[in-house]
Chain A
Amino acid sequence: LPQTRRGKPRLSKYYRAYTDDEKHKVEGEIHRLVTGRDSKFTNFVEFRQHKLIYRRYAGLFFTLCVDTSDNELSLFESIHLFVEVLDQFFGNVCELDLVFNFYKVYMILDEFFLAGEVQETSKQTILRRVQELDRLE
């Protein structure tokens, strides 16, 4: 089940129930695992009974934690799509944008992933939706 998280957790979303303590522990472990890897290594790591798929953008890591049966390459692309949406929404997004507007980022995330699955693949559709939601604020 996907769980997005950024290095020194800026934002995390869990699609399965965990206690807060468990979440912190898991996040710490993942962070150590992911930041310790060389950039030439694969973007996929085994982690407990799951797989981690991560991608680095400047100072942030975007990590998905999924079942071992999911298609890694496809999810790797979905990370990129998500980042592109963020970029277009905030206009040249940077880390501070994500920090100050975390609830908006959650909103975008919810338009993209739902219950752990990708629900929409058209960048335009997601953007349009999110911009409308923003206007309602």
Chain B
Amino acid sequence: FPTRSRQGSSPPASSSLARWPMSIRLRELIRNVRACKTQADERACIQKECAAIRTAFKEENNELRHRNVAKLLFIHMLGYPTHWGQMECLKLVAGLKFPEKRIGYLGLMILLDERQEVLMLVENSLKVDLHNENQYIAGLAMCSLANIASAEICRDLSPEIETLMGNSNPYIRKKACICALRILQKNPELAENYTDKVASVLNDRNHGVLLTGTKLMFEMTRLDANTVPELRAQVPTLVRVLKNLVLSGYAPEHDINGITDPFLQVSVLKLLRVLGAGSAECSDQMNDILAQVATNTESSKNVGNAILYECVQTIVSIEAESGLRVLAINILGRFLMNRDNNIRYVALNTLVKVVATDINAVQRHRNTIVDCLKDPDVSLRRRALELIYVLVNESNVQALVEEMVGYLHVVEAEYKEDLVTKICTVTDKYAADKRWRVDTIIKTLTMSGAYVSDDLASSLISLISKSPEIQAYTTCKLHEALSAELHTVAQTLVQVGVWCLGEYADLLQSGAGDEHLTPQQVLDILDKVLHDVTTTVTTKEHVLNALVKCAARYSGQADAQARIGSLLQPFTTSIGLELQQRSIEYSRLFSREDIKAGVLERMPALEKKQKPADAMRAAGGRAAQSNGGAAAAPQQPA
């Protein structure tokens, strides 16, 4: 009867029964959900359960709350909204028993994150629980703190954590270190409070504490580089720790595949890296142990390789003596030959860092690296490309660029532009043979369609204008390229081609290049480009420029002149202002025999800084000025 009064008007017979089905066990819920055949079934099942849970929450049932919240968490994992249950988690956290607290904290970690204001309400519970005698409850609190605490909570609870780092229980100390890590991430200014604590942690015997301690130190250096000089004092201790690990016999507690606590070794090596970089004295202290780790670690299993990898990274980052560096690079070379893709990947990654200082050593492995470029694995290919780009020099540029151009066929779209730029940059820097340079760049531009940046056009033009010997050759090649279907050719290439035709077409008339181009052929191409649907307005402007230059070059040929005139004519009424202006000015320029030759003289060698568009506008500008004169002239007595 008391139950009936709470439930309102439900019949007494079913009231006591009605309560139990509402509160099924977690396992049953999971089983029910898994038994649902369709999405709709599952939704109905979940909704029913949510309703039951909601009612149960309203009833403030203490015993079953944690079971209901556990079910809620499961429902959340499936993807349904569950924010209405957050307050229940808070109530659980404030409970007294361990199972309640456990689900409560777990709920907090899953349902909330540091940005939620509701979290502030938990702060007090956290504070109390941190000092709980039961190490597991304290552990729970620290866990939540470390995983989701906001900056304010971190700051408030920092004093508690500082004390806990000195606690007698290693379990507590270990977790306190990680909490300190998070606190510092959120509030870097608190670092001073922890510097001496962290030093004492390194003298601990417990591996877990050592591990978290080294991570804490690493994080401190990452957040504030000024802590490094102070922490360098710890290097001897760290070296000792590492030595103990390497020299110790079989230690079943921390053994993995025959190596004692590889995770701790890796962590110490990482820390040594940061402390040794930039300090010759510190690096000296580490030399011996690094050499020992590098030579004695078994590399048949992945664990050994993990340690070697970290060791090599450390050696190349500190001021190591050359013998040690050679050792490191040899290890990397061995990695490259390994059949395991993971190891090769890691080697390629590290070689990129080494190349800056020891490029000759890396060159020895060039062929292996090039092979990696052809590997079916995308990750390997990308790493290999980075490395090849850095390895290019005068002697190997032709071979390597060919590989890079080959790769252009298969690379994904998002990396194409980068690759094209890389190819052109190295070709520019290292190629001695200009013809080959031009060939390669044209080939690259032809293949890469839309992925070309405008800078490439200007560097190509600057190259051509500076080298008279290849001007004819280049113009030939470009003419070829433009004869193809225009929509497959990059606009940049079209622009460069058109510009070259304008400047140098007359060279071809006399057969200077490999081909003999008549004015009509040149004008054919210009005509085609002008009227093609894929040509942009900018390109059309370039074509107009080229046409008027041709007028000067082919000054003796009447049919060419007539054709040029007829090509220019339609644009005098064009909607595009620039096109209209140019065509009108150029038509005027036609009739001015006296200044035409001067204005349309061949361009001098261009410096790379000046963009071709600007240079052309400058030439057009000069023409415009004199046209202004020409336009004014008819008004004067002729």
A residues lining the B interface (CB < 8 Å) = 9, 11, 14-15, 17-18, 24, 38, 40-46, 71-74, 76-78, 81, 99-100, 102-103, 106-107, 110, 114-115, 117-122, 124-125, 129, 132-133, 136-137
Q: A18-B113, A114-B143 are in contact. Are A43 and B342 (CB under 8 A)?
A: yes
CB < 8 Å neighbour of B178 from A78, A114, A132: A114
Whether B250 sits at the interface, judged by CB under 8 Å, is no
Whether B389 sits at the interface, judged by CB under 8 Å, is no
A41 and B377 contacting across the interface, CB-CB below 8 Å: yes
- Interface stretch of the complex, out of B9-17, B260-268, B438-446, B527-535: B260-268
- A residues in contact with B148, CB < 8 Å: 17
Q: A17-B115, A107-B102 are in contact. Are A102 and B77 (CB under 8 A)?
A: yes
SS class of chain A's interface: helix, strand, loop or mixed? mixed
- B residues in contact with A45, CB < 8 Å: 379
B175 and A118 contacting across the interface, CB-CB below 8 Å: no
Q: A114-B178, A117-B215 are in contact. Are A72 and B379 (CB under 8 A)?
A: no
B residues lining the A interface (CB < 8 Å) = 27, 30, 34, 70, 73-74, 77, 79, 98-99, 102-103, 106, 109-110, 113-115, 136, 143, 146-148, 171, 174-175, 178-179, 181-182, 207-208, 211-212, 215, 252-254, 256, 261-264, 266, 270, 302-303, 305-307, 309-310, 313, 341-346, 376-380, 382
- B residues in contact with A77, CB < 8 Å: 256, 262-263, 302-303, 306
Q: A44-B379, A121-B263 are in contact. Are A115 and B181 (CB under 8 A)?
A: yes
Known: A122-B207, A122-B208, A136-B99. 9 other contacts (CB 8 A): A17-B113, A46-B382, A73-B306, A77-B256, A77-B303, A102-B77, A103-B103, A120-B174, A136-B136
- B residues in contact with A24, CB < 8 Å: 79
- B residues in contact with A15, CB < 8 Å: 147
A102 to B107, CA, bound (A): 12
Which residue of chain B is the closest to A9 with respect to CB atoms? B77
Which residue of chain B is the closest to A121 with respect to CB atoms? B263
- B residues in contact with A9, CB < 8 Å: 77
A42 and B256 contacting across the interface, CB-CB below 8 Å: no
A71 to B313, CA, bound (A): 10
| Cβ-closest 3 pairs across A and B | A73-B306, A17-B113, A115-B146
- A residues in contact with B174, CB < 8 Å: 119-120
Smallest beta-carbon distance B185→chain A, Å: 8
A73 and B270 contacting across the interface, CB-CB below 8 Å: no
A2 to B376, CA, bound (A): 27
- B residues in contact with A71, CB < 8 Å: 266, 270, 306, 309-310, 313
- A residues in contact with B377, CB < 8 Å: 38, 40-42
Q: A71-B306, A74-B310, A102-B77 are in contact. Are A42 and B211 (CB under 8 A)?
A: no
A100 to B344, CA, bound (A): 39
B208 and A11 contacting across the interface, CB-CB below 8 Å: no
Which residue of chain A is the closest to B305 with respect to CB atoms? A73
A72 to B148, CA, bound (A): 25
25 example contacts (A-B, Cβ-Cβ < 8 A) are as follows A17-B148, A41-B376, A41-B378, A44-B345, A44-B379, A71-B266, A73-B302, A73-B342, A74-B262, A77-B262, A78-B263, A81-B256, A103-B102, A106-B109, A107-B106, A110-B143, A114-B175, A115-B147, A117-B215, A119-B174, A120-B211, A121-B254, A121-B263, A129-B171, A136-B136
Smallest beta-carbon distance A136→chain B, Å: 5
CB < 8 Å neighbour of B114 from A17, A129, A133: A17
CB < 8 Å neighbour of B266 from A14, A18, A74, A136: A74
CB < 8 Å neighbour of B211 from A44, A110, A119: A119
Q: A42-B345, A115-B147 are in contact. Are A121 and B306 (CB under 8 A)?
A: no
Q: A133-B136, A136-B136 are in contact. Are A103 and B70 (CB under 8 A)?
A: yes
Q: A74-B310, A77-B306 are in contact. Are A44 and B77 (CB under 8 A)?
A: no
A18 to B392, CA, bound (A): 42
Smallest beta-carbon distance B220→chain A, Å: 13
A76 to B262, CA, bound (A): 12
A17 to B148, CA, bound (A): 8
A137 and B99 contacting across the interface, CB-CB below 8 Å: yes
B342 and A103 contacting across the interface, CB-CB below 8 Å: no
A137 to B341, CA, bound (A): 44
A29 to B174, CA, bound (A): 35
Q: A73-B309, A74-B262, A115-B182 are in contact. Are A99 and B147 (CB under 8 A)?
A: no
B379 and A117 contacting across the interface, CB-CB below 8 Å: no
Smallest beta-carbon distance B325→chain A, Å: 20
Q: A71-B309, A73-B305 are in contact. Are A117 and B178 (CB under 8 A)?
A: yes
Q: A71-B309, A106-B106, A136-B136 are in contact. Are A46 and B379 (CB under 8 A)?
A: yes
Smallest beta-carbon distance A101→chain B, Å: 9
A115 to B143, CA, bound (A): 8
A119 and B341 contacting across the interface, CB-CB below 8 Å: no
- B residues in contact with A125, CB < 8 Å: 208, 253
A72 and B79 contacting across the interface, CB-CB below 8 Å: no
Smallest beta-carbon distance B549→chain A, Å: 48
- B residues in contact with A118, CB < 8 Å: 211, 263
A118 to B106, CA, bound (A): 19
A4 to B173, CA, bound (A): 25
A42 and B266 contacting across the interface, CB-CB below 8 Å: no
A103 and B106 contacting across the interface, CB-CB below 8 Å: yes
Q: A122-B208, A124-B253 are in contact. Are A72 and B346 (CB under 8 A)?
A: yes
- A residues in contact with B211, CB < 8 Å: 118-121
CB < 8 Å neighbour of A100 from B27, B270, B307, B380: B27
Smallest beta-carbon distance B2→chain A, Å: 31
Q: A74-B263, A137-B99 are in contact. Are A11 and B77 (CB under 8 A)?
A: yes
CB < 8 Å neighbour of A117 from B113, B114, B212: B212
- B residues in contact with A38, CB < 8 Å: 376-377
Which residue of chain A is the closest to B377 with respect to CB atoms? A41
A121 to B265, CA, bound (A): 11
A133 to B135, CA, bound (A): 10
- B residues in contact with A106, CB < 8 Å: 106, 109-110
- B residues in contact with A129, CB < 8 Å: 171
A119 to B306, CA, bound (A): 18
Among A44, A118, A119, A132, which residue has the most Cβ atoms of chain B within 10 A? A119
